[in-house]
Amino acid sequence: MFKKETYIARREQLRKDIGHGIIILPGNHEAPCNYPDNTYWFRQDSTFLYFFGLQREDLVGVLDCDSGKDYVFANDYDIDDIIWTGPLPSVKELAASAGVDNSGDLKALQDFCDKALNEGRNVKYLPPYRADTIEQLSALLGLRHERVIPYASRKLIMACVKQRSVKSDEELAEIEKAIATAYNMHVSAMKNAMPGRYEYELAAIMQGEAWRGNGPLSFPIIMTIHGETLHNHGHNNQLVEGRMLVMDAGCETPMNYCSDITRSVPVGGRFNERQKTIYEIVLNANLEAIRIARPGVTYKDIHTATSRILAQGYKDLGILRGDIDDIVANGAHSLLMPHGLGHMMGLDVHDMENYGQINVGYDDETHPSSQFGLSSLRFGRKSQPGFVITDEPGCYFIPALIDKWRAEGKCKDFINFDELEKWKDFGGIRIEDDIVITDTGCRVLGKPIPKTVAEIEATMNE
Ligand code: GLY
Ligand code: MN
Ligand code: MN
């Protein structure tokens, strides 16, 4: 964890922003996989990590905005646990390591909540995303299960979004460690992307590199020669020459800061003409975002600017036709990129998505679009220095979607469906970097991972 002063300052700021009442921040519990003692990999709740930095299961943090006191509650382990787990710090010791002077067991937490409710104090919590946390809040606060999510505090959500959106230098250093491991994951996989290998073998190489960097994956690996399926988690295909391999993968550091990188490479290590053409259109869109992202510019506008680059590329190929502004305004290009340019990243790969995307990615000035493609943009509002965002344009020839639009005549003035037929067997390409907004522009985080056609071919043929 960071030094305790970091967590003390974060909690102090949150108490100040909320003003009065009590904030309850439950950590995560172990989650059973197929029987209670066989659990999934433990992942602490990111808000709990942000304000307390503690990795143990079953912890609950409480901030009392009126007294200025912070608390950590959980039951201590006893000898029946310790014979299985080995010696573990007490809850009091854990609390102290996060700069928290007050601690107690779960009975004390229930007493604390009962007293607060009896005194009519305001109690705030964030929307829980796990059933066991809903259950816990329901019991602590005497709420029916179905009331727990609707009664979550928007004021608390917005205060957490405000703090967590701006990454400090120590957070950026953690994210860059996660990208350093992602570099190893991607370069190792690239070098092995040869005909005859299986997607699962390359996914295994990546997973091994993630663990070699001492962290879990930040989301399930996408490793597919069918990159036209945006989140394709199947890994059973054998690599064949002529296919693009889409590799979208990242990891977490031991403190759970994330990376999220995509590279798309030609199986065998040499781009053919068609692959090079589409790749460079997508690359130009990725580079355009890096060129123009800066404080005060909305990511929605950057998404649109990169859409213009994609649209021009497809127009030059004869797939689209008409005026570029009209193509983009009508969303015709979204047939080939039905997702947004990016999302925030930090302690979550889609940072704070549990708070509700509207609260994280949009604000009073910038509203989500309902247009196909743009409606999937997770982060649209103006950026500030310290925001970490992904820049991930792509091009996907999705046969079922092409057929549907053709049958419906959707955007038919802008799309040459006959020309598009020739591309239906292409697959997909995505290129994803993680950027931080600086005072004057943005910086691509981490050691550069091979990205141009020349760099990828050189790496794959070393
Ligand atoms: N890997 C999921 C994403 O790029 O958002
Ligand atoms: Mn990704
Ligand atoms: Mn991403």
Q: How high is the pLDDT of residue 401? A: 98
pLDDT digits (tens, 9 = 90+) for 84-136: 989 999 999 999 999 999 999 999 999 999 999 999 999 999 999 999 999 99
Q: How high is the pLDDT of residue 230? A: 87
Taking each helix axis from N to C end, the angle separating 154-165 and 4-18, rounded to the nearest 10 degrees, works out to 140
Cβ of 348 less than 6 Å from ligand 1: no
For residue 39, the cross-strand partners are 32
Q: How high is the pLDDT of residue 153? A: 98
Q: Which ligand 1 atom sits nearest the alpha carbon of residue 218?
A: 1
Q: Which ligand 1 atom sits nearest the alpha carbon of residue 342?
A: 5
CA angle 348, 222, 345 (to 5 degrees): 20
Mean pLDDT, to the nearest integer, of 227-246? 94
Cβ of 248 less than 6 Å from ligand 1: yes
| Residue 268, number of CB atoms within 10 A of its CB | 19
Residue 254 CA to ligand 2 centre (angstroms): 20
Rounded to whole angstroms, how far apart are CA atoms 424 and 403?
10
Cβ of 433 less than 6 Å from ligand 1: no
What is the overall mean pLDDT for the chain? 97
Structure tokens at 262: 């995509």
- Per the CB < 8 A criterion, the answer to whether 352 and 344 are in contact is yes
Q: How high is the pLDDT of residue 233? A: 84
Q: Which ligand 1 atom sits nearest the alpha carbon of residue 432?
A: 4
pLDDT digits (tens, 9 = 90+) for 45-56: 999 999 999 999
Mean pLDDT, to the nearest integer, of 169-177? 98
Residue 148 CA to ligand 3 centre (angstroms): 30
Mean pLDDT, to the nearest integer, of 190-204? 98
Cβ of 392 less than 6 Å from ligand 1: yes
Mean pLDDT, to the nearest integer, of 157-169? 98
The residues whose Cβ lies within 5 A of ligand 2, an ion, are 248, 260, 262, 432
Going by pLDDT thresholds of 50, 70 and 90, the confidence category of residue 69 is very high
Cβ of 260 less than 6 Å from ligand 1: yes
Residue 206 CA to ligand 2 centre (angstroms): 14
pLDDT digits (tens, 9 = 90+) for 399-457: 999 999 999 999 999 999 999 999 999 999 999 999 999 999 999 999 999 999 999 99
pLDDT at 173 over 90: yes
Nearest-CA residue for atom 3 of ligand 1: 260
With a threshold of 0.95, does the pTM exceed it?
A: yes
Q: Which ligand 1 atom sits nearest the alpha carbon of residue 430?
A: 4
Q: How high is the pLDDT of residue 55? A: 97
* Backbone dihedral angles phi then psi of residue 319, each to the nearest 5 degrees: -80, -40
Contacts of 247 (CB under 8 A, 6+ apart): 186, 189, 190, 193, 202, 206, 221, 222, 223, 262, 263, 264, 265
DSSP for residue 68: -
What does the DSSP assignment read for 292-317? Answer: H--TT-BHHHHHHHHHHHHHHHHHHH
Cβ of 391 less than 6 Å from ligand 1: no
Give the C-alpha distances (Å, rounded to integers) separating 319 from 250, 263, 312, 391, 420: 33, 24, 10, 24, 6
Residue 342 CA to ligand 2 centre (angstroms): 9
Residue 431 CA to ligand 3 centre (angstroms): 10
Q: How high is the pLDDT of residue 232? A: 82
- Give the number of whichever ligand sits closest to the CA of residue 261: 2
Mean pLDDT, to the nearest integer, of 359-371? 97
| Residue 59, number of CB atoms within 10 A of its CB | 24
Rounded to whole angstroms, how far apart are CA atoms 80 and 136?
24
Residue type present at position 304: T
Q: Which ligand 1 atom sits nearest the alpha carbon of residue 378?
A: 5
Nearest-CA residue for atom 4 of ligand 1: 260
Going by pLDDT thresholds of 50, 70 and 90, the confidence category of residue 227 is very high
Of 186, 218, 219, the residue with max ligand 1 atoms within 8 A of its CB, to mutate for a pocket test, comes to 219
Going by pLDDT thresholds of 50, 70 and 90, the confidence category of residue 235 is very high
Residue 249 CA to ligand 2 centre (angstroms): 6
Q: How high is the pLDDT of residue 231? A: 85
Cβ of 219 less than 6 Å from ligand 1: yes
Q: How high is the pLDDT of residue 436? A: 98
Q: Which ligand 1 atom sits nearest the alpha carbon of residue 249?
A: 1
Rounded to whole angstroms, how far apart are CA atoms 160 and 176?
23
Rounded to whole angstroms, how far apart are CA atoms 276 and 274?
5
